[in-house]
Structure 1
């Protein structure tokens, strides 16, 4: 029975199920389960979350799986049944006297001498093989824990609507309870885990109300995991503090954009519906007589309506449409766009919509995960201005130094299982941390020199009769000194692109290219561009100006309506797509994925190559679906470099990369001898790498 047979049964019973869950379940049932696990019960528990009210379909599927796995389950049951009982040939006398004589016989016997000279019967090679298999099994289970933690938990949460999740995290009663209560957060010891990985251990989480915190740290350190734990109240945030987490784009439907923003404030929407219901009931009672029961009912409804009005007034519900329109306008939605259905927008615009919804709700604690990734420079400038007057607490994960400089009042540095706090924006943090690191290193070196001096004196005079007493005193001084830990080394990264061979120009040219998805609405008109091995071209402009479209025409993914594109026959192009995650298989490890794309090398070769982009150790053997955004970007760069490109076309390559990774990428591109075209909204990246800047009209800039 193969895992693909099992997967097909699950797909047939529950069409539309995410493929990543199907593959996980199939692999678990056939290959990954331990002998001690009741695999059908585990599968039933996971599938029940997919079944909903389709219990009959679930039961039929479980019966089918039981039949398909029958032989395999019998073997597992046999293997876990333990050692076999053996029938003794004769009765053993276990009397006290017999035991005593056995002990007496053993007295004074040298068991070691009995065994002396007998070679061990253990097969060392077999033992090493078994130990390796056991280690691999433990590592596989650890990775499976990570997989379950990131994918199956998310699938369970996706079954709850936004409204249900919002009301679960932020009950309506908590809005009234929040009055006169402090919205500061101080948790002196928190632990955060992801699967079997400990992200934070005994860390202190301190967020003062009204402050804006930038959360920074290396890719894969667990910043997004921490935000999710806070958002789900898995970290004990006080119940009266409302929380909203902007992590991913909204699901598109027929709801107009402005209506989607208004509905995001579930409290407001709920109270407006309650107001309408109460008004309707009062209207019905108005036609009734003056009997006491009608009077009492009218009075009770009037009191509830007054309370609802007071709550709506507190949250400034009446100004909702105007505030929603202003937020959407600031993020680039014109009046016409605001009335389009959300399904008509691309992924980047849906991310903006998700951001507008969060800003409209105005939670006491707003959590943002890399908000600058999907918005252009104009929208980013507006967002910076808006967040500078944010009335609540803001915790934002970002690797954009300029953005953090503009909005952060404090920096939280996540590393080594703890959180360190710095006052000021990113530039002030960097200066303070650099100075502190220098002082720590200086103090450490001074202490080590002092200890070295003591040890040298002791070594020289401890056996000299005249100086022995002094040497003993030095020994006591040295013993009383506390253990000294070296300061953490500043981690540096290097990206490495292979040198490309020279080929004769022209390499890649566009001549008078015109393109539009419809003849009525042209995106590009009369564009000319010439790319060589020494090109360093940056394309900037508003979202929708045609930058990504131009890249796709250069790669051949799209054909121009007019004009032509000339590509050298020997030219190899490496394309880093804005949504590069879609090109990676989440159910494979980075090593497996590289092997599937570029077969014929050893596992060590793939791991060594991934190491050129800081995917090292067990990270290379971890499922891609469990990696952070920055780690996935590194895998994408590793794949690009194996293509041995002459020209790199990079669409938003800085998204998700941490600050160290961004620095490494800039240095690598400066050193590389091939041509580069970049689309980016990161000002520092553009000014460092590019020699030419093309604007949204695609005329040569400065």
Structure 2
């Protein structure tokens, strides 16, 4: 491969000697600091374009910068050894402070001390700007490095307070309260200094399934945590299970881990074993046999003998094969351990089950199974979910969190939308009637204010106005909008394709063979399949992050991909605010530009200056969108983009993708997003990717048929 020096000479045969020395010096001394070709272009592209006598446009210069960056990459990884060698060791720190005379005596020439030729063609202003930009970049990087060992960020904590009811407290203390209904009145929830709920009320009737909905960042997850740790008073005899953390990895088999979650059954089995041992040893005192009979009766009552089969059905429904059920918990990834935590909760059957975005960790197949399973749940569920179809299938009631209060609605999500619209219409009519009534009174007052004969009536009308309740304007939630800029030139096909690709991580286990897929700027493709089938691997092959073992990846030379990872939060610097995040990633712009970019994704005002770590999951996703779209890609690859987003933002995401003029390939389990956006459905299974003509409906029918055959339904 040609070195960056050779590329410069080849592409710019008439380059000014000063520009040549400047660029080669920058690459030789600081090339390893560039994260990608775009950064290299930002540093030297303007100087190159300004000094070019070959009429090269910006795209040509960008391509050349990317070529030079590739040679730097090879140098840093040891695959190439093209290096600029000096005749003798030179201390750069000494050179930078040396005078020209000193340098001349040592016969050493610094790249920053080159004398300008008389007939130079370089633009001095552009050169100065490029040097200043590079200097600023190094200063920012040094400043960032100096901050790394600093004290870890201390986040605010959530808290809850509740007006005590002496009667309820006495009943609970006496142990006479056997009701499994939950009613929490007049309570507040705050996060640090921010009030999330004020004077709120929550009623949960036993046997009902509630969907807790509301915009990102309003406190849904915090409310679940307050209930789980009993910061809000829930009767002591009601068992609560909050599926929040993944199962710890140890030597316990997956199936046994689920069985152990039923502490009543485990306790009875342990007691049975202990009683039998005492009876067999002859040390029993006579009461053991009576107690053993009671234990057997209780085990029969809770159908303990059917427990292994019930646990296996739950695990199978959530995607655990018979082989996986025998694996130890430490062998599973975090995503599968979260599924295991969900399986344990379903098996334990608590009186109050708290679920926070349970579909985030599941593929479409597992979501359909969970919907069916929860429809027969006999106890109380409170679930936070952004999945509209899941809520329609599962919940019997909706609890809407907004304006620091909770409002309850009977029915599923579709019924909530209709009822809410009707309420808003009625409120609007009532508001208009009140406005007209006030105006009518005010007209009378204004007309007869100075009429002595009507003075008593005017005074009466004035008192009537004063007695009327204050007129409150209708509360309207701000509509969510997302901006996906598409000010780029249309690219002629082929844009992106994989031809006869074979790929594996382990030579003994081929993941894909004969993979043939293609996409263009009109593509709206969704990839579905079970977890572990290779969906994310397909995305990385399309992006070029993974290299095929066999076959070829073809992409347009001007293709610019924006990638949203399902683990996007892991890629964000949580210790800075959103503005600083964009500043560090895309330096050289003013604060207003960063605020405008974040504002396009709902991160406005003080939200933009808060540490990213303090934002909700959905708000972090919006920050990741703002970061992804800032370079204006012409193709998006999105891996589970709806995780943590509220329903309004998912709707806005779908509308924005439909307006976007570039190509889109996404992996998603959100049925509504798939139906709104995608024209093609690729199913990833058994080492192949196949296109389904009937779209999502056909895929759903295939899964339902599998459930029936396997006996999960």
C-alpha contact 2:153 2:575 (8 A) present in aligned 1: no
5+ residue gaps, structure 2? 1-151, 160-173, 694-713
Match in the other structure for 1:223: 220
Match in the other structure for 2:204: 207
5+ residue gaps, structure 1? 1-143, 154-176, 289-296
C-alpha contact 1:573 1:645 (8 A) present in aligned 2: yes
The equivalent position to 1:263 in structure 2, one of 238, 253, 260, is 260
Shift of 1:362: 0.5
Shift of 1:145: 10
Match in the other structure for 1:648: 636
Shift of 1:305: 4.0
Closer/same/farther in 2, CA of residues 276 and 227 from structure 1, 3 Å limit = same
Q: For the residues of structure 2 that align with 1:674 and 1:624, how far apart are their CA atoms?
A: 29
- Deviation readout 1:32-87 (Å, 9 max, x if unpaired): xxxxxxxxxxxxxxxxxxxxxxxxxxxxxxxxxxxxxxxxxxxxxxxxxxxxxxxx
Q: For the residues of structure 2 that align with 1:211 and 1:331, how far apart are their CA atoms?
A: 23
Shift of 1:656: 1.1
C-alpha contact 1:264 1:361 (8 A) present in aligned 2: yes
The equivalent position to 1:420 in structure 2, one of 398, 401, 407, is 407
1:462 aligns with 2:449: yes
Shift of 1:259: 1.3
1:400 aligns with 2:387: yes
C-alpha contact 2:356 2:384 (8 A) present in aligned 1: yes
Match in the other structure for 2:110: none
Shift of 1:392: 0.8
Match in the other structure for 2:661: 673
Shift of 1:430: 0.8
Q: For the residues of structure 1 that align with 2:550 and 2:316, how far apart are their CA atoms?
A: 34
Q: For the residues of structure 1 that align with 2:156 and 2:414, how far apart are their CA atoms?
A: 38
Q: For the residues of structure 2 that align with 1:611 and 1:196, how far apart are their CA atoms?
A: 23
Match in the other structure for 1:657: 645
Shift of 1:482: 1.2
Shift of 1:558: 1.3
Closer/same/farther in 2, CA of residues 415 and 518 from structure 1, 3 Å limit = same
| Greater mean deviation of Cα atoms: 313-322 or 562-571 | 313-322
Secondary structure (helix, strand or coil) at the match of 1:700 reads: strand
Closer/same/farther in 2, CA of residues 552 and 208 from structure 1, 3 Å limit = same
Q: For the residues of structure 1 that align with 2:478 and 2:292, how far apart are their CA atoms?
A: 60
Match in the other structure for 1:564: 552
C-alpha contact 1:212 1:409 (8 A) present in aligned 2: yes
Closer/same/farther in 2, CA of residues 532 and 320 from structure 1, 3 Å limit = same
C-alpha contact 2:181 2:204 (8 A) present in aligned 1: yes
Shift of 1:193: 2.1
Closer/same/farther in 2, CA of residues 145 and 510 from structure 1, 3 Å limit = closer
Q: For the residues of structure 1 that align with 2:322 and 2:467, how far apart are their CA atoms?
A: 73
| Greater mean deviation of Cα atoms: 618-627 or 309-318 | 309-318
Match in the other structure for 2:537: 549
- Deviation readout 1:426-459 (Å, 9 max, x if unpaired): 1111101110011101110111122122223322
Q: For the residues of structure 2 that align with 1:237 and 1:179, how far apart are their CA atoms?
A: 14
| Greater mean deviation of Cα atoms: 496-505 or 298-307 | 298-307
Secondary structure (helix, strand or coil) at the match of 1:699 reads: strand
- Deviation readout 1:276-310 (Å, 9 max, x if unpaired): 233323333x1x6xxxxxxxx62344455445445
The aligned runs of 1:300-699 (5 Å cut-off) are: 300-505=287-492, 506-696=494-684, 697-699=688-690
Shift of 1:351: 2.2
Q: For the residues of structure 1 that align with 2:591 and 2:154, how far apart are their CA atoms?
A: 22
Shift of 1:625: 2.0
Shift of 1:146: 7.5
Closer/same/farther in 2, CA of residues 335 and 178 from structure 1, 3 Å limit = farther
C-alpha contact 1:145 1:196 (8 A) present in aligned 2: no
Secondary structure (helix, strand or coil) at the match of 2:189 reads: strand
Match in the other structure for 1:244: 241
TM-score by length of 1: 0.71
C-alpha contact 1:146 1:626 (8 A) present in aligned 2: no
Equivalent residues, number: 524
